[in-house]
Chains A and B, each alone.
Chain A
């Protein structure tokens, strides 16, 4: 499965590297204090922050994972987009952003501190910092191993070079540099993968040719003929679709709990909107991100579905070269790179590989800049060295701390990538555990924003209880055919889910429900420590209404954009029903 690159391919990669580093180099002189470095001085235009918002999400694990999922589940993978992302992005923009941005909080943990109390912030900040290091290590490992197996690049070399380039531009230019580069990376990812979509579709005879060629594949797996090219049609029962989840799990588990947990509270993502130049711009950021997000399935999922056709008889060479596991099943992570290899000649191939590297870097830089901010403001400034009052000296001091943290987090990510290469199972397990912190976090932030009574003690307990109960659920259930305890059932095996996805969805649903009940219940039992004046700007009912924006054309108003995004995604859902 080796793939040889031409010198032109390397030349394109090198030009890309020079540009990302150059942007960092150019921005270095603007980094005068911590505010510029960690918050981009709150100066980003909406469209820049919006593309960065979606680019951070379009990391290597997303590109590799969603192409692989396309090959595994077919069009059902689009549930992660049209129902599993768009509604949450609209909600974030219209209902949550005014409080996030208006509170002047510099991070999600800091918002928790303002709305609730110190302990809630501390718990969230520490868990978030750990999760971030781990996530960036895992994606580094995933990419380096792919490059080693397919391109023959040395594992250590590609790990260190890609990490050092990210270090270079984030160290120099901080969040601004990460955001500007994410915009560049967004365009490289889209343009680099574009030829793949056209060529692969042409190869199988367009969308209708693809549908026809998938019929025997679906039949061989005992599914209805059009299972792989539809989204909701077979979602009535878990057993009739390859995702193994029925409509309720998709709607509530993915569309509500998982997606709102990720899009509305994950600081990695929302930090891009925090960096916008005004409250109005901040509200538009998630919506501008949602516009390309709706069409990303055509860029990465559709080629994945085509890989399923190629693998099942359409192209014997493709199948012969595809890495498989001991049971003969394809290793789905390789889908994207096997497709690049299949269709792209030297030249555009370099562009495609550069797109993969760009996706890796945008995800990694997102982790780095989010970690820096949380570490410097929520951990270092809160517990190690508080502000002295001399603003200028403080700004310089925390800038230095932010820079040191950049180096530290990248070294820690490299370490965690090596741990992942030795103990992959442990890392998978840790990642599963950390995935359980988002759903309770959403419950707590949501209640805090819309119910002024919610107390700090209740929120803290709700966060912890949701997390622990989710952990317990994971310990008591297993997906069918699990061979390691990493997948669950490490306490006892009380229930078996047909597929892993179903288990994930239910873990999230439980985390959310438990967290909500605890927070609501305890709120009635504890006393609100904060006065209405403290909560002004943080809670819906205590915040004065928005400035009137009805003089603007509809496409410059958040509500107008939200309706546009909503309508397009409904149309897409109906077309591919």
Chain B
């Protein structure tokens, strides 16, 4: 019917990029990251989501070819 990995992969890739960019732009904003104990949690989570999204897409598209 539809491979659910495609929408999941797309969504996490898009949100991952947005959050990573947010993390890069605000990297020097110490006040903002005081909440998260000085960790730029946006950069971390953004990268994680991006990787997760791409893995999902990779498996979904790889299967399609065969």
Contacts and interface: CB of A to CB of B under 8 A. Distances in A.
Interface of A: 8, 11-12, 15-16, 19, 22-23, 26-27, 30, 41, 43, 48, 176, 180, 183-184, 187, 191, 194-195, 199, 202-203, 342-348, 351
B61 interface: no
Contacts of B45: 191, 194-195, 347-348, 351
Nearest to A180: B4
Interface in B12-66: 12, 14-15, 18-19, 22-23, 26, 32-33, 35-37, 39, 41-42, 44-46, 48-49, 52
| Contact-size category for B | 20 to 34
Given A12-B19, A15-B15, A195 B36 contact: yes
A419 to B, nearest CB: 35
A351 B2 CA distance: 26
Nearest to B42: A347
A500 to B, nearest CB: 35
A342 B35 contact: yes
Closest 8 CB pairs of A and B: A347-B42, A347-B22, A19-B11, A180-B4, A345-B32, A345-B35, A195-B41, A347-B19
Contact of B4 (A48, A191, A199, A348): A48
16 contacts: A8-B18, A8-B19, A15-B14, A19-B11, A187-B8, A191-B12, A195-B36, A199-B39, A199-B41, A342-B35, A343-B35, A345-B36, A347-B45, A348-B36, A348-B41, A351-B19
Given A194-B45, A203-B37, A346 B1 contact: no
A395 B1 CA distance: 19
A16 B18 CA distance: 13
B6 to A, nearest CB: 10
A30 B7 CA distance: 17
Given A195-B36, A343-B35, A347-B23, 15 more contacts: A8-B18, A12-B19, A15-B11, A15-B14, A19-B7, A19-B10, A19-B11, A22-B7, A30-B1, A180-B7, A199-B37, A343-B37, A345-B33, A345-B36, A347-B26
A26 B41 CA distance: 34
Nearest to A349: B35
Nearest to A22: B7
A48 B2 CA distance: 12
B22 A183 contact: no
A8 B22 contact: yes
Contacts of A22: 7
Contacts of A194: 45, 48
Contacts of A203: 37
